[in-house]
Amino acid sequence: MENKRLYSPKQVREVLDRHGFTFSKGLGQNFLIDGNIVRGIVRGAGITKDDYVLEIGPGMGTLTEELALNAKKVVAIELDNRLKPILEETLYPYDNVEVVYGDVLKLPLREIIDEKLGGGPVKVVANLPYYVTTPIIGRLLEEELPFKSISVMVQKEVADRMVARPDTKDYGSLTLFVSFYTKPEIILKVPKTVFMPQPKIDSSVIRLTIKDELPDTNRESFFKLVRAAFSKRRKTLINALSTYGLEADKDELRAALVRAGIDETVRGEDLALEDYVRLARELPKL
Ligand code: SAM
């Protein structure tokens, strides 16, 4: 397949200038201009010729092109209609790519997967705009769509929080949210110099491998507990929980802790996922 590769800074500039394209800061447009990183993302995401891939935010198609070369089929969702003539040009050589224009937070993803991606399982790959990282990952996980993994470029600090261990400053509700649904791993560290325009912060690519089975507990109670536990990081767990306004008084909470085998003096950040899972099981009606 003829392939002029999009990722040299000169090539990116040439295509964008020819189309009179200007970057939108509001849409978090920082495009990749480094072939090693583009290839590293696709390799780290474990993409093979058998894979159906959903890309979010293709930009001018740099990562999309590498995905097209390595996957069976790629559907890319892009919010910015101004990129349409550019993507039509850059992705022209690839007949296994389809671009859908719209907001990934609003589009009917299940329908798109059923109609265009063989009904799943699907691997998600994305270089996301920083301002919508958390809502997008939140939607992808909560809806329990047929995903195998989600590999995304995020702000370095966000990736560090996702993989944090208990009893560290980064450990918190984001860690527990992500590890409820997935096994998170940082697959690439990305310096700010590989983007055009250059952002102020460094990034990491994180791969979230979806668990075959979700933890066996009451999900609503689990997330309520986690929110309550981290609402007052410096308090003991029992005090943080009892002042948060949960539908259980201090005695009920204390009894549930005992039944879950959790010491009353611990703080929320000392407890691992399994501890919250057990505790939520003891407090199903929160
Ligand atoms: N993938 C390209 C690359 O790596 O060079 C572009 C990455 S850029 C950081 C993020 C892209 O996401 C932009 O093209 C932007 O227009 C698009 N985008 C922003 N918000 C979006 C949303 N809610 N839904 C879909 N795409 C969005």
For position 236, which CATH number holds? 1.10.8.100
Total residues belonging to the chain: 286
Q: Give residue 1's pLDDT.
A: 38
| 164 and 40 part of one domain | yes
The answer, yes or no, to whether any atom of ligand 1 lies below 6 A from the CB of 129, is yes
Q: Which residue owns the Cα nearest ligand 1 atom 1?
A: 58
- Note whether 151 and 236 are same-domain residues: no
Name the residue of 128, 131, 201, 204 to mutate for ligand 1: max ligand atoms within 8 A of Cβ.
128
Looking at residue 259, its pLDDT comes to 96
Q: What is the pLDDT tens value at each position of the chain, 286 positions in all? A: 344 577 788 889 999 999 999 999 999 999 999 999 999 999 999 999 999 999 999 999 999 999 999 999 999 999 999 999 999 999 999 999 999 999 999 999 999 999 999 999 999 999 999 889 999 999 999 999 999 999 999 999 999 999 999 999 999 999 999 999 999 999 999 999 999 999 999 999 999 999 999 999 999 999 999 999 999 888 899 999 988 888 888 999 999 999 999 998 999 999 999 999 999 999 888 8
Res 89: pLDDT = 96
29 lines ligand 1 (CB under 6 A): yes
On whether residue 2 sits in a domain, the answer given is no
The reported pLDDT for the residue numbered 3 is 47
Strand 122-127 and strand 147-155: pairing? parallel
Both 260 and 161 in a single domain?
no
Residues 139 and 169 in one domain: yes
Would residue 169 count as lying in a domain?
yes
Q: 39 with 158, same domain?
A: yes
Residue 247's pLDDT is 84
C-alpha of residue 27 to centroid of ligand 1, in Å? 7
Q: Go through 55-92 and write b for each residue having 16 or more CB atoms within 10 A of its CB, e for each that does not.
A: bbbbbbbbbbbbbbbbbebbbbbbbbeebeebbeebbe
**So what's the pLDDT on residue 187?**
97
Domain assignment of residue 231, yes or no: yes
224, 82: one domain: no
Ligand 1 binding pocket includes 163 (Cβ within 6 Å): no
Same domain, 199 and 264: no
User: Which atom of ligand 1 lies nearest, measured to the CA of 103?
Assistant: 24
Do 257 and 115 share a domain, yes or no?
no
Asked whether 62 lines ligand 1 (CB < 6 A), one says yes
Q: Please tell me if the CB atom of residue 80 comes closer than 6 angstroms to any atom of ligand 1.
A: yes
Q: Give the integer Cα–Cα distance in Å for 260 and 276.
A: 9
The per-residue pLDDT for 27 is 95
User: Does ligand 1 lie within 6 Å of residue 77's CB atom?
Assistant: yes
pLDDT at 4: 56
Cβ of 58 less than 6 Å from ligand 1: yes
The boundaries of the domain holding residue 112 are: 9-210
* 19 and 129 co-located in one domain: yes
Cis peptide upstream of residue 121 (ω within 30 degrees of 0): yes
Q: Confirm or reject: Cβ of 67 under 6 Å from ligand 1.
A: no
Does ligand 1 come within 6 angstroms of the Cβ of 66? no
Ligand 1 mean position to 104 CA, how many Å?
Answer: 10
User: Cα–Cα distance between 95 and 144 in angstroms, integer?
Assistant: 29
Q: Among 170, 187, 210, which residue terminates a domain?
A: 210
Same domain? 178 vs 234: no
In a domain, 60, yes or no: yes
* Rounded-to-integer distance, Cα 61 and Cα 63, Å: 6
Q: Is residue 38 part of a domain?
A: yes
- Atom number, ligand 1, closest to the C-alpha of residue 31: 5
